[in-house]
């Protein structure tokens, strides 16, 4: 009977993104995507598009609120509740049918998207952590709070769902840092334990980028790079203006063009003499 069973485990990935690019200025829009990945596959196949199940694309222009995300997740949870007890799938190798079990375990994404989908407050909430009950005003202590317990989380989310008014829901959210999520209907789900930051957000854009770019200075800071780029543009404009004036004076544009194309050690550098005059690199070395 063991060979007649297939047990599949999927991860759940949630993220919102700006279809116009991550621009700091200009119009900001947000689209959402929910993706399922089969973890029974070898790791090198996890993120291949052919093996990912794009569950839904949530249209913009704004990211979904907690009510909308619950409506989006409901059909998925309904299917998972059926699949956890297995369904029979007939194949060419198993004409009598194979018992297929499907479970959804790790919930992956950035804090904003995954907390909204699972039912936890954002990083700006008073109780911002899905693992413990640490409060925002205790952050300077650098200590974790009391660990969250699954049943406490479920009970708080159920109380939020059954609240008679929005104000009562808001009170529960501020006190506990949670609200209702459709994923809590899955009996094997542990909302405070199955959340994981995506590799992109946690390492490539988080810990590693901070250490490589700032602590170890593997690449100059973006602001410094921008200043250098603007300064280079200004020098380029000044150089072009001076070269055009010089070309019109001697009337030898061809010779000037050939001289500028040769990046030799005698190339002219601007603004290095008295009053911003010309000096060659060799002359500068002698000074």
Please enumerate in sequence order all residues whose Cβ is within 8 A of that of 18, keeping only pairs 6 or more positions apart, or say none.
Answer: 28, 29, 30, 31
Per the CB < 8 A criterion, the answer to whether 88 and 97 are in contact is yes
Dmax of the chain from CA atoms?
Answer: 94
What is the DSSP track for 120-136?
Answer: B--TTSSB--SSB--BG
Count of residues in the chain = 287
CA distance to 110, 127, 131, 139, 215, per residue, from 142 (Å): 22, 14, 15, 6, 20
Report the distance separating Cα 40 and Cα 11, nearest Å: 10
pTM of the model: 0.62
From the list 58, 47, 49, 60, the residue with the least C-alpha distance to 20 is: 60
For residue 81, the model assigns a pLDDT of 92
Q: What pLDDT digit, counting tens, does each position of 8-54 carry?
A: 999 888 888 777 766 555 567 778 888 898 989 988 888 788 888 88
Of the candidates 129, 246, 103, which has an alpha carbon nearest to the alpha carbon of residue 186? 103
12, two tokens = 């759940």
* Structure tokens belonging to residue 281: 């690199």
Peptide bond into 61 cis (omega under 30): yes
The pLDDT value given to residue 78: 92
**Mean pLDDT of successive 10-residue segments in the chain (287 residues)?**
79 81 64 87 85 85 81 90 88 84 85 81 77 80 80 85 86 83 86 75 64 65 60 61 55 48 43 44 44
262 C-beta neighbours (distance < 10 Å), count: 8
Helices (H), the chain: 66-83, 111-118, 150-162, 166-176, 199, 208-210, 222-250, 253-261, 281-286
């Amino acid at each position: 009977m063991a060979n007649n069973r297939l047990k599949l485990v999927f991860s759940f990935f949630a993220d919102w993104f700006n279809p116009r690019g991550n621009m700091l200025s200009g119009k900001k829009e947000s689209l959402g995507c929910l993706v399922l990945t089969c973890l029974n596959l070898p790791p090198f196949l996890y993120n291949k598009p052919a093996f990912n199940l794009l569950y839904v694309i949530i249209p913009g222009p704004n990211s979904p609120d907690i009510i909308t995300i619950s409506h989006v997740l409901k059909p998925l949870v309904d299917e998972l509740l059926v699949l956890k007890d297995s369904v029979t799938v007939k194949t060419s190798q198993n004409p009598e049918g194979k018992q297929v079990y499907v479970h959804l375990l790790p919930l992956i994404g950035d804090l904003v998207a995954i907390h909204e989908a699972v039912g936890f407050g954002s990083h700006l909430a008073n109780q911002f952590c899905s693992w413990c009950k640490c409060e925002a005003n205790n952050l300077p202590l650098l200590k974790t709070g009391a660990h969250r317990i699954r049943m406490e989380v479920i009970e708080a989310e159920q109380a939020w769902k059954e609240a008679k008014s929005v104000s009562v829901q808001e009170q529960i959210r501020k006190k506990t840092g949670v609200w209702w999520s459709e994923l809590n209907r899955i009996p094997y789900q542990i909302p405070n334990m199955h959340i994981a930051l995506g590799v992109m957000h946690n390492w490539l854009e988080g810990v590693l980028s901070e250490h490589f770019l700032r602590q170890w200075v593997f690449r100059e800071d973006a602001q410094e790079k921008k200043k250098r780029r603007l300064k280079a543009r200004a020098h380029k404009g000044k150089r072009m203006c001076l070269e055009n004036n010089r070309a019109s004076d001697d009337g030898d544009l061809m010779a000037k063009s050939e001289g500028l194309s040769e990046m030799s050690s005698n190339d002219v550098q601007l603004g290095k003499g008295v009053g911003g005059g010309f000096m060659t690199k060799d002359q500068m070395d002698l000074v």
